[in-house]
Structure formats: structure tokens, C-alpha cells
Chains A and B, each alone.
Chain A
Amino acid sequence: EDKVVQSPLSLVVHEGDTVTLNCSYEVTNFRSLLWYKQEKKAPTFLFMLTSSGIEKKSGRLSSILDKKELFSILNITATQTGDSAIYLCAVDPRQGGSEKLVFGKGTKLTVNP
């Protein structure tokens, strides 16, 4: 069964701290890994990763994928209160020509002033 596990489940930090969120996966045929940020309702897309070792960066956020060890990390530097959200990791395990997204349970990040 395809599985995505995120850790930690929750994290409380102070503004200015750097955080690392983890996502490990077990899927039959890996196609891509995606990170989303969910604040109130709608998740918003952060990154899509398909190749190992290539860092994707957007401002203070960055992410990298390790297809050999089957995990990805999401780094947030100089955290701000606006980074408080649930961060979701999802994997697209393409099977027999069809796709589906398998999500982890998310990491709830709280950034205190």
C-alpha cells in the first residue's frame, strides 16, 4: 500500500528559527513529490520535485528530494508568524497509466513572535 509519512506531526518555534520538515514515502512507481501549505482552508502549492538532489527554492523556503532514501525535506529559514500553517507532502505514484495523489497527515507548524 502506498504510504506517505510526515514528521514531526507538530512543531512550535520562535520567529527567526529555521525549521526542517520531513516527508518519507513508500510507493510502487514514483512520479513526483509535491509540497503544499494549508493555512485556513485551501492548500496552496509550494514545490513539485521529480529529480533527486536538485534543490527547489522560493524565498525562505527550499526543498530537496532523495529518491534513493525515499524522502524529501522542506526547509524554512528565518521563520515568520505568517509561516504558521499545516504543511502537506503528497506523492504521485503512477500505476498502470493512472495517477492518484497520496498525502501525508501533515506537519502543523506554529511560529510564535
Chain B
Amino acid sequence: KAGVTQTPRYLIKTRGQQVTLSCSPISGHRSVSWYQQTPGQGLQFLFEYFSETQRNKGNFPGRFSGRQFSNSRSEMNVSTLELGDSALYLCASSVGGLSYEQYFGPGTRLTVT
């Protein structure tokens, strides 16, 4: 079974731009969660999608948004990028949600200059 894939793996953007990250879950997994990881804050939960609906949301500003498609692939968008958005963005998929075993992708390293 193929694992979770994320594209792109690395990204450099400038302040004020927007960015879209993509995540393809493991086949058969309907839940996709997104996380931001920084050295200072550690791993923080962004949101979770299940069957194309945002089911859970962390404490991030509205600049962070996402969506899920009918094939369970998910995209995350960050608008009006700030320097503090530089981080590793991880997505994870599971069969049923956050309290199920989650399988993480390799992450997208975003650098905002």
C-alpha cells in the first residue's frame, strides 16, 4: 500500500504571497489532518477533514484554510504569508479520525522570506 504523499516537498515564498500544499492519503483513508511543526511551538494541529467536510479545527487564523476532494485528497492553503508561517507542514491520514492510528506524510518544508 502506498503511503501518504505530500507535494511539494520544499517551497520558498515571500511575505504576502499565498501557497497551496497538497496531500494524498493512503488508499481507503477518509480522514486527513494537517499539522504545523516549528522548533518553538512543536507540532500543532491545524484541521481535519473527513468525507470532504472540515470536522475539526485548531487555533489558527483564517489565513489557513483547506479542503478535501471526493477522492480524499486534501489541499491546504495559506494566504498573505508571514515570516512566522515558515514551518514543516505535515499531513496525516487515518481510517476514522484523530483517535485512530494516523499515518504521516513526509511533510512540506515552507520557507517564507
Query: Which of B61-69, B73-81, B101-109 makes up part of the contact surface?
Result: B101-109
A101 lies within 8 A of chain B by Cβ? yes
Q: Count of A residues near B, CB < 8 Å?
A: 22
Chain B interface residue count: which class? 20 to 34
Contact (A100, B104) CB under 8 Å given A31-B99, A42-B90 = no
Give the shortest distance, in Å, between B2 (CB) and chain A (any CB). 14
Contact mask for chain A residues 29-63; partner B; CB cutoff 8 A; 1 contact, 0 none: 00110101000011111001000000000000000
Which A residues touch B35, using CB under 8 A? 101, 103
B28 lies within 8 A of chain A by Cβ? no
Which B residues touch A45, using CB under 8 A? 101-103
Q: Which residue of B lies closest to A95 (CB)?
A: B56
Report Cα–Cα, A102/B43, bound state, in Å.
Answer: 8
Contact A41–B97 (Cβ < 8 Å): no
Consensus secondary structure, chain B interface: strand
Which A residues touch B44, using CB under 8 A? 103
Contact mask for chain B residues 83-98; partner A; CB cutoff 8 A; 1 contact, 0 none: 0000010101000011
Contact B106–A42 (Cβ < 8 Å): yes
Contact (A41, B106) CB under 8 Å given A31-B99, A92-B98 = yes
Residues of chain B touching chain A, judged by Cβ–Cβ distance below 8 Å, are 4, 33, 35, 42-45, 48, 55-58, 88, 90, 92, 97-99, 101-107
Q: Can you pick out 20 interface pairs between chain A and chain B where the beta carbons lie within 8 Å of each other?
A: A32-B99, A34-B99, A41-B88, A41-B106, A41-B107, A42-B4, A42-B90, A43-B90, A43-B92, A45-B102, A48-B99, A92-B98, A92-B99, A99-B97, A100-B56, A101-B45, A103-B35, A103-B43, A103-B45, A106-B43
